[in-house]
Amino acid sequence: MAEIPTFQEQALIDADKDGTLSEDELNAYADKITPQFLANLQLSVNNQPLTLRAESKEITTLPGAGNLPTLRIKWNLIADLPNKNAVNQVVFENKNYNERLGWNEIVVNRTSGIGIFDSTAFGSGITDELKSYPQETLNAPLTERTAEFSFTTGAVPENAKILQNRDGHTTAAVQTDRLAELIAVPEVTPSIILLGLLLAFGLGAMHAMSPGHGKAVVGAYLVGSKGTPKQAAFLGLTVTITHTLGVFALGLITLFASNYILPERLIPFLSFISGLLVLYIGLTMFKSRLFAVLGWETAGHHHGHEHSHGEHEHHSHSHDENSHSHDNLTHTHDGHTHTHLPPEDISWKSLLALGISGGLLPCPSALVLMLSAISLNRVGYG
């Protein structure tokens, strides 16, 4: 389990509520969840279901970001194999934590004297048993929950596909969060606070420059609408405030409502809302452009009092001086009206919607930082 789910489970593991997870508490927790975990593992050989049982288990905590622990449980499971055929087909499915997002990887290990073939799973992993993860796939974790393969103690059939290894992935150790590590310093001094603020500002600026947050959409909108520096500043401030409030909201859900709402299940919903806001802005701009092409301008109305006294032809004249507009940049020359105003596609309402869409998705690193501060009773500093 990563930092956030481990933080949520900590209340169940820490039976004496002393803030630490002892070996006895960890083993008791493992004993408690093992029966349900095994019940959610389905294994069959030649269409005959097998019953898995735990031969041994090992539960440990490893340090994660922000000095928050991560939980690792390893089971050695066995099952009684029925009378096997010359060629045997195995079907496996893992139904544990189906409702949660995370990395699910299945590896079929080779065994001496047994030939494995026609496997939907690979014979090697890319995470070293979930200890390190490839950087290029962190945003799209593996979701391997089922596997099928065949095995034989004799010769592998001629047309069978031998068990393959994974290729093309590089793994890296879990990166430490330097900012989160400042939360766990032995003593919070003024110099540490200043260093933390400077580091937070710098990392926040780098984070803002990294891919994401709809910056391409935001930039295209401002350029296409001839936005002003004031409007750009307002847009950036809106993204920042929304991004921060999103972290606080998700943190409160993690602390108090995770039994009812899984925080990671909110992310797709928030992405959908963000997309709707961008769609709304796009439709608004399309309508504005369409009205302009069709001559159905709704902004900046103007009218003239041109008239003539037809009964005296030599007195026929136009009162162009009475031709006027309700803005200073729209005027008439010889009956031809035009404006020097920039396109009016941009609006504060659209800027607000775009800013909210860009900052709506909270940053997981910031959430880990906040939970770390809470666990260490340094909420104000965090």
141-152: burial string, b at 16+ Cβ within 10 Å, e else: ebeeeebebbbb
In the sheet where 115-117 sits, what is the strand order? Answer: 48-50, 41-45, 88-94, 146-152, 115-117
- pLDDT higher than threshold 50 for residue 338: no
- pLDDT higher than threshold 60 for residue 63: yes
- For the chain, the domain total comes to 2
Same-domain pairing of 75 and 203: no
Same-domain pairing of 54 and 87: yes
* Rounded distance between C-alpha atoms, residue 346 and residue 78, angstroms: 65
Residue-wise pLDDT tens digits, 176-225: 566 666 676 777 788 888 887 888 788 777 777 766 656 656 666 666 66
- pTM of the entire predicted model: 0.56
Q: Classify the C-alpha dihedral 133-137-141-147 as positive or negative.
A: negative
Q: Classify the C-alpha dihedral 124-127-133-138 as positive or negative.
A: positive
Residue 330 belongs to a domain:
no
Q: What integer pLDDT is reported at residue 92 of this predicted model?
A: 97
* Rounded distance between C-alpha atoms, residue 240 and residue 247, angstroms: 11
Question: Which range, 49-58, 92-101, 362-371, is most confident?
Answer: 49-58
Residue 98 belongs to a domain:
yes
The CA dihedral of 43, 55, 123, 103, to the nearest 10 degrees, is 80
Same-domain pairing of 165 and 186: no
Residue 107 belongs to a domain:
yes
Same-domain pairing of 161 and 214: no
Same-domain pairing of 199 and 253: yes
Same-domain pairing of 18 and 60: yes
Report angle CA 19, 200, 1 to the nearest 5 degrees: 40
Of the candidate ranges 199-203, 307-311, 342-346, 350-354, the one whose mean pLDDT is the lowest: 307-311
* CA distances, 369 to each of 29, 68, 181, 208 (Å): 26, 9, 9, 17
Same-domain pairing of 184 and 169: no
Tokens at residue 277, please? Answer: 């806001």
* The amino acid at 105: E
Tokens at residue 88, please? Answer: 């045997």
Residue 137 belongs to a domain:
yes
What DSSP character marks residue 270? H
Instruction: Provide the residue range defining the domain that includes 260.
Output: 178-294+345-375
Give me the chain's average pLDDT, please.
Answer: 76
Same-domain pairing of 249 and 142: no
Same-domain pairing of 115 and 155: yes
Q: Which residue has the higher pLDDT, 213 or 18?
A: 18
Report angle CA 264, 269, 275 to the nearest 5 degrees: 130
Q: How many residues does the chain have?
A: 382
Same-domain pairing of 80 and 183: no
Residue 108 belongs to a domain:
yes
Of the candidate ranges 179-193, 219-233, 339-353, the one whose mean pLDDT is the lowest: 339-353
Tell me the mean pLDDT in the region 72-97.
90
Share of the chain above pLDDT 90, in %: 21
Q: Give long-range contacts, CB 8 A cutoff, 24+ apart: 348-354.
A: 348/231, 348/234, 350/221, 350/281, 350/284, 350/285, 351/227, 351/231, 351/234, 351/235, 351/238, 352/238, 353/277, 353/280, 353/281, 354/214, 354/217, 354/218, 354/221, 354/235, 354/238, 354/277, 354/278, 354/281
DSSP letters, 306-348, are: ----TTSGGG----GGG-EESSTTEEEETTEEEE-PPP----H
H helices present in the chain, as ranges: 3-13, 23-39, 178-181, 190-209, 215-224, 229-256, 263-294, 348-359, 364-375
